Structure 1
Amino acid sequence: MTDEFDDLLKANRRYATSAPRNFDGYAHAGVAVVTCMDSRLQPLEMLGLMLGEAKILRTPGGHVTEDAVNGCILGVHLLRVERILVIAHTRCAMAACDDAEMRRRVAEASGRDASGLSVGATTDQEAKLRADVTLLREHPLIEGTAQIGGFLYDVDTGLLSQVC
């Protein structure tokens, strides 16, 4: 064991004294959110939701990856999800370049071969958002089970707008 995580473990001990308990794991507001891993985004707060009301799936760029699809399938069939929001955001690194450029940046930063990296980076953020929403709407295990929408969150204003 090392001490690189001691500060976080100490904070966790404080948290544990008042941590919410006795949740059943369902999405009580019937909501699932696929959004970016960006630390500027607070998915529950931006939608006026509380702990226990939504399932949150985070990916680079808020893209609908295979894991996100799986989470949505489980959500609609087992966790009471009735609405899925796919939320991209302004000033996202995944919308500032394409995968080739992202691979170059990672290789440069790491000094390692990043040729196998695929994160779905694209400068056409709206087209990617529309494609991700279509993917969920037309998936055979999701189609007809939930309302699905694509949204853009403005990190400067805090406002969310529906794209599709």
Structure 2
Amino acid sequence: MNSEENTTPVPGFEDLLESNAKYAEQFNDGGFDGIARKGVLMVTCMDSRIEPLAMIGLRLGDAKILRTPGGRITTDAMIGCVLAVHLLQVDRIMIVPHTRCAMGSGDDQQIAQKALETSGVDLRGMVLGSTPDQAAGLRYDVTRMRNHPLLASKHVTIGGFLYDVDTGQLTQQM
């Protein structure tokens, strides 16, 4: 950060910074190199009902976690997967959408219309990656990842899973 930049705190984050100060007092997980110790990367939804590490019995430092709307493989998620495989010792990639996902409640046009009605913001024309057929979206994303030349050339296992936000159950779909 440039020392000449304005570093005045923005109001509205005080509660989070206070909680972080308490967290930092007890923090004992520093000092490791940031590789994925268990060789796992998970792409899942940004939904706040999902605790990616806990749901697969892992802890801080064991896996890389990428979150996208709907757990879809966006361009940035694909870049993250490629980098993790080639630089961070990832050899297993899990793609994990979930039940009752807002991004599964319609296609891009329907989600954009809902946003327009709810907030007045026009998202039409944006590629949102939503699909009411989550199984088809998952098959597409897994196949795309398995066939990506920068992933297929490495020994990496890619699986598709569905997380149930009401039971906590993770089931392999492919």
2:120 is aligned with 1:114: no
Amino acid at match of 2:144: L
CA contact (8 A) 1:31 1:54 kept: yes
| Aligned counterpart, 2:161 | 151
| Aligned counterpart, 1:125 | 134
The verdict on how the C-alpha distance between 1:144 and 1:159 changes in structure 2, with shifts beyond 3 A counting, is: farther
Amino acid at match of 1:12: N
Q: Which moved more, 1:110-119 or 1:36-45?
A: 110-119
The alignment's TM-score, normalised by the length of structure 2, stands at: 0.91
- Flag structure 1 segments of 5+ consecutive residues without an equivalent: none
Note the C-alpha offset of 1:34: 0.3
| Aligned counterpart, 2:173 | 163
RMSD: 1.0
The alignment's TM-score, normalised by the length of structure 1, stands at: 0.96
The Cα offsets for residues 96-135 of structure 1, whole Å up to 9 and x where unpaired, read as 1111111011112222322232211111100100100011
- Counterparts of 1:54 and 1:2, CA distance in 2: 32
| Aligned counterpart, 2:96 | 87
2:43 is aligned with 1:34: yes
The Cα offsets for residues 24-60 of structure 1, whole Å up to 9 and x where unpaired, read as 1100000000000000001100100010000000000
- Counterparts of 1:21 and 1:130, CA distance in 2: 37
Q: Among residues 6, 27, 51, which one is paired with 2:14 in the alignment?
A: 6
- Flag structure 2 segments of 5+ consecutive residues without an equivalent: 1-8
- Aligned structure 1 segments of 4 or more residues deviating by more than 6 angstroms: none
What is the percent sequence identity of the aligned residues? 54
2:138 is aligned with 1:98: no
Greater radius of gyration (CA) = 2
Note the C-alpha offset of 1:144: 4.2
